[in-house]
Amino acid sequence: MIKEFTNEPLTDFTKEENIKKMKEALAKVRKDFGREYDLIIDGQHIKANDKFNSYNPAKKDEVLGIFQKATEKEAELAINAALKRFEEWRYFSTKERALILLRAANIMRKRRFELNATMVYEVGKNWLEADADTAEAIDFLEFYAREAIRYAQDQPLTPYPGEFNELKYIPLGVGIIIPPWNFPLAILCGMTSAAVVTGNTVVLKPASDSPLIAYKFMEVMIEAGIPNGVINYLTGPGSIAGNYLVAHPKTRFIAFTGSKEVGLKIVELAGKTQPGQIWIKRVIAEMGGKDFIIIDNEADLVDALPGVIASAYGFQGQKCSACSRLIIHQDVYDQFVKMLVDTAATIKIGPPEYQENYLGPVINANAFSSIMNYIEIGKKEGKLVLGGKQSALANEGYFIEPTIFIDVSPDARIAQEEIFGPVLAVIKARDFEEAIRIANHTEYGLTGAFYSKNRQKIAQAKRLLHCGNLYINRKCTGALVGVHPFGGFNMSGTDSKAGGRDYLALFLQAKSISERL
């Protein structure tokens, strides 16, 4: 009997034993820096002609690993391997597939500190953020294993005299999994495990900034017993996935998490029928946001402050759910801005391998340049009251100070465009109604939060605020699997809800069978 799903507890890093384990894991992972990693196609380790490196964004010249730069040749091998293995994997029992996920969850628990340490180095997560990423990956494995079993059960149908009727959920085929670098284990694991536990086979193309943690995910799945060719690990340029694999006539679906620009290109390319293609490709896309927190004049300001700080500056603001627009009622505007600036100024910046550092680096040189460019734009669009500069550590890694602009227009670029960095635009609202209008005034609709003690306003906010994940009197980041099914509206994605009870349906198709008695 599989027990009911519960979320994986986070590690308590106030305990000396956990601090010791984390430091040991960081040292262990560091010993493997510079190692070369192969492609894994149909269980075979394959090298490509060209290579690329994974770097530590906190020490930008430090090479974590050397990876294969796959070409269309290797991509074709991966598609064919997945296609061949699908004919076997699709007929595995759901319980067999679910047990592989449950075993993988247990392996992740045993390797938890190593996985945490890998993300600290590879994408610049602090200890808490890295541990939460690993915990979420475990949650996805546990939750989707149970959900797959639920989908495989007898489905309720209206009885009809003289017939025996059934509805079966069956897999789609070969999918392309294109995860992001910002949740390089959790989201990768969630999309991949959802696809394979439902009987599909996949080509996994990790982000070029986070191939190492993806390789360790492959190690976990292989140890858990995933058959060869069910997950094919293909590193290399984004164009391999975004063009060749998405366009391939044998690709049945694409699961993507990343930028709006890339997501829309995938949707467009997947919509073009290729010679030999006999289905309409399904796209499951999550594409970011321009998320808000509203501070009402009847909010508990002391309670709201840590929620804003965590939402805006957790993982350097590099979450699709991060608060980048803070909308404050004019009655409490000056008071809350002072509280915010004073607190944000105390945030400790530095290499996240050291526990005391909260704010690490942004992911790479392109991100650094883009964020600094938006800061220059922000200086023309609002009043800079904190930050606005690269950190003193910027020569070593991609560090940017926590930045706050106040008196920003709702139409300003820094209030409309996704920046994906530690930059917060603060907007003054005349009243509750204007705050709602400002919050809804972007092309996105992913997350938002509303702080108020007024129950009538809360009820109105629940009705009127248009986003996929709305939080009342808490931060707008930190969705938990099974608790807060995650996914947004408008240009934030295709309305899929990761970690929710309808998510696996996106990787399945329903077959109705009727037999006359």
What's the pLDDT tens digit per position in 112-140? 999 999 999 999 999 999 999 999 999 99
Q: pLDDT tens, 96-107? A: 999 999 999 999
How far from chain centre, in Å, is Cα 74? 26
d(CA 423, CA 371): 8
Q: Quote the pLDDT of residue 242.
A: 78
Q: Quote the pLDDT of residue 110.
A: 98
Q: What are the residue boundaries of the structural domains of the chain, listed by start?
A: 39-143+171-287+495-516, 291-481
39-143+171-287+495-516: which CATH architecture?
Answer: 3-Layer(aba) Sandwich (3.40)
d(CA 271, CA 281): 7
Please identify which residue in the block is written with the tokens 């930008």: 60
- Domain over 291-481 is classified CATH 3.10.310.40: no
Which residues, including other chains, have CB under 8 Å from residue 29's CB and lie 6 or more apart? 114, 117, 118, 121
Stretch 231-260: mean pLDDT: 94
Q: Quote the pLDDT of residue 239.
A: 86
Q: pLDDT tens, 306-359? A: 999 999 999 999 999 999 999 999 999 999 999 999 999 999 999 999 999 999
Which of 114, 286, 353, 401 does the annotation list as catalytic? Answer: 286
Q: Is 286 an annotated catalytic residue?
A: yes
- Residue (of 224, 231, 216, 232) closest to 70 by Cα position: 232
Residue 193 pLDDT greater than 70, yes or no: yes
d(CA 309, CA 313): 6
Q: Quote the pLDDT of residue 354.
A: 98
Q: Quote the pLDDT of residue 390.
A: 85
Q: Quote the pLDDT of residue 250.
A: 98
What band does 495 get if pLDDT is binned at 50, 70 and 90?
confident
Assign 3-state DSSP to the chain and report helix, strand, coil percentages, each to 5. 40, 20, 40
Residue 513 pLDDT greater than 70, yes or no: yes
Q: In the structure encoding, which two tokens stand for residue 396, read together?
A: 């070593």
Between 389 and 316, the higher pLDDT residue: 316
How far from chain centre, in Å, is Cα 221? 19
Q: Is 236 left (phi over 0), alpha (psi -120 to 50) or beta?
A: left
Contact criterion met (CB below 8 Å) for 243 and 269: yes
d(CA 340, CA 311): 12
Residue 228 pLDDT greater than 70, yes or no: yes
Q: Quote the pLDDT of residue 473.
A: 98
Contact criterion met (CB below 8 Å) for 188 and 182: no
Stretch 453-471: mean pLDDT: 98
Which of 320, 323, 467, 476 does the annotation list as catalytic? Answer: 320
What band does 1 get if pLDDT is binned at 50, 70 and 90?
low
> Residue 482 is inside which H or E element, if any?
none
DSSP state, residue 8: P
- Residue (of 42, 38, 52, 37) closest to 76 by Cα position: 42
Q: What is the CA radius of gyration of the chain?
A: 23
Lowest mean pLDDT among 62-76, 130-144, 199-213, 234-248: 234-248
Percent of the chain exceeding pLDDT 90 equals: 96
Contact criterion met (CB below 8 Å) for 165 and 513: yes
Cα separations in angstroms, 178 against 75, 149, 253? 13, 25, 11
Stretch 267-286: mean pLDDT: 96
Stretch 164-181: mean pLDDT: 98
Which residues, including other chains, have CB under 8 Å from residue 217's CB and lie 6 or more apart? 137, 185, 188, 189, 192
Q: Is 189 an annotated catalytic residue?
A: no
